[in-house]
C-alpha cells in the first residue's frame, strides 16, 4: 500500500459536512448496534428502521455475490458500518476509505470494540486515487458515497483498476431522472444536494456510460426506490418534526450553518423525490476476466 500522506485540501466542504453533522446522525439515525450513514432497504427481511439499515448491506452483498475470504474495498465507508457487517456476516476482509479523518478514527474504534480489527481496516484516502496496487480487491463497494465526487468517471476508472479480473462493483446511489431538468426542478434538486456537500448526481445513462468506458461489463442498474421509500420518508418526518428547533437554535447560535442546512436539505430531498426528480438506484458491474 502506498503510504503517501493524505491531502485534505480538495475535501474541505465534505469533511466539514460530516464533522459538523456527526451529532445529528448519531441522535436521529445511527443506533447503538448500527453505524449506517445510509438509507435502509425495507422488504420481507426488514420492516423496522434498524433492520432496514442492516438489510441494505445484505442486499448489496447478495447482489455482489460476496464470498467468505474475499477482500472488499468500501469506497466512502463513513463510520465503518458496512465493513464491520461484511466482516462479521460474510467472513470477508474489508478495507474502508474516507477522506474524513474523524470517521476513520471512529470506525477503527468500533472495529476494536467489535473484535474485528483484524478483519476490517480503515484509512483516510480518496476513492478516486486510492493508495493500493492494481487488482487488490475482489469487490469495490460504494453505498451513497459516489454522489460526493465531482469526478464520477474517475471513480469508475479507479474501481476498475483496483479490482482483480472477475471482480465486482456494487454501488447504491441517488440518480437524477434526466439532465437537464426543468429550471424549477434543477433548483429544487440542487437545494438538496448543495446542503449535503453533493456537487451533482448522475443520470442512469451517465452511470452506465462511465462504467462501460472504464472497462466494466455486465452493467446492471436497477431502481430500488420502492425499497428505500419508507426510509427516505422517515428522514423527512424527522427533519420536519425538528425543523422549528433547527431554526430556533440556529438563530441562537447553538447550531452551525452546516447543521442548519443539513436539516433543510433532508426536507428538500424528499420533496425532490416526490416530484420525480431523482430515484434510488443500485448498480452492479463486473471487470472482465
Please give the positions annotated as active site: 144
Provide the H-helix boundaries in 36-139.
49-63, 81-89, 101-113
CA distance 240 to 97: 32
Please give the Cα distance from 264 to 188 (Å, whole number).
11
Tell me the C-alpha distance between 142 and 127, whole Å.
9
Least Cα distance to 143 among 22, 28, 25, 40 occurs for 40
Backbone angles phi, psi at 130, to 5 degrees: -80, 145
For residue 144, CA distances in Å to 166, 182, 265, 281 come to 24, 25, 15, 10
Amino acid at each position: 500500500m502506498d503510504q503517501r500522506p493524505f491531502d485534505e485540501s480538495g475535501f474541505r466542504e465534505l469533511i466539514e459536512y460530516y464533522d459538523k453533522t456527526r451529532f445529528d446522525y448519531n441522535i436521529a439515525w445511527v443506533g447503538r448496534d448500527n453505524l449506517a450513514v445510509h438509507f435502509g432497504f425495507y422488504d420481507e427481511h426488514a420492516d423496522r428502521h434498524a433492520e432496514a439499515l442492516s438489510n441494505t448491506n445484505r442486499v448489496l452483498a447478495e447482489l455482489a455475490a460476496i464470498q467468505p475470504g474475499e477482500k472488499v474495498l468500501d469506497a466512502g465507508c463513513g463510520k465503518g458500518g458496512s465493513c464491520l457487517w461484511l466482516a462479521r456476516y460474510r467472513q470477508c476482509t474489508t478495507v474502508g476509505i474516507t477522506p474524513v479523518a474523524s470517521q476513520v478514527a471512529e470506525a477503527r474504534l468500533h472495529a476494536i470494540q467489535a473484535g474485528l480489527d483484524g478483519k476490517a481496516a480503515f484509512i483516510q484516502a480518496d476513492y478516486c486515487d486510492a493508495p493500493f496496487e492494481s487488482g487488490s480487491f475482489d469487490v469495490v463497494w460504494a453505498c451513497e458515497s459516489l454522489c460526493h465526487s465531482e469526478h464520477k468517471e474517475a471513480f469508475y476508472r479507479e474501481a476498475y483498476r483496483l479490482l482483480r479480473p472477475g471482480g465486482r462493483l456494487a454501488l447504491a446511489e441517488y440518480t437524477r431522472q434526466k439532465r437537464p431538468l426543468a429550471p424549477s426542478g434543477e433548483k429544487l434538486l440542487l437545494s438538496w444536494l448543495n446542503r449535503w456537500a453533493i456537487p451533482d448526481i448522475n443520470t442512469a445513462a451517465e452511470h452506465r456510460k462511465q462504467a462501460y468506458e472504464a472497462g466494466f461489463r455486465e452493467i446492471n442498474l436497477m431502481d430500488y426506490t420502492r425499497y428505500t421509500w419508507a426510509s427516505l420518508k422517515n428522514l423527512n418526518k424527522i427533519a420536519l418534526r425538528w425543523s422549528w428547533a433547527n431554526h430556533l437554535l440556529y438563530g441562537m447560535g447553538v447550531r452551525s450553518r452546516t447543521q442548519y442546512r443539513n436539516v433543510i436539505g433532508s426536507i428538500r430531498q424528499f420533496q425532490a423525490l416526490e416530484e420525480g426528480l431523482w430515484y434510488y438506484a443500485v448498480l452492479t458491474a463486473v471487470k472482465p476476466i
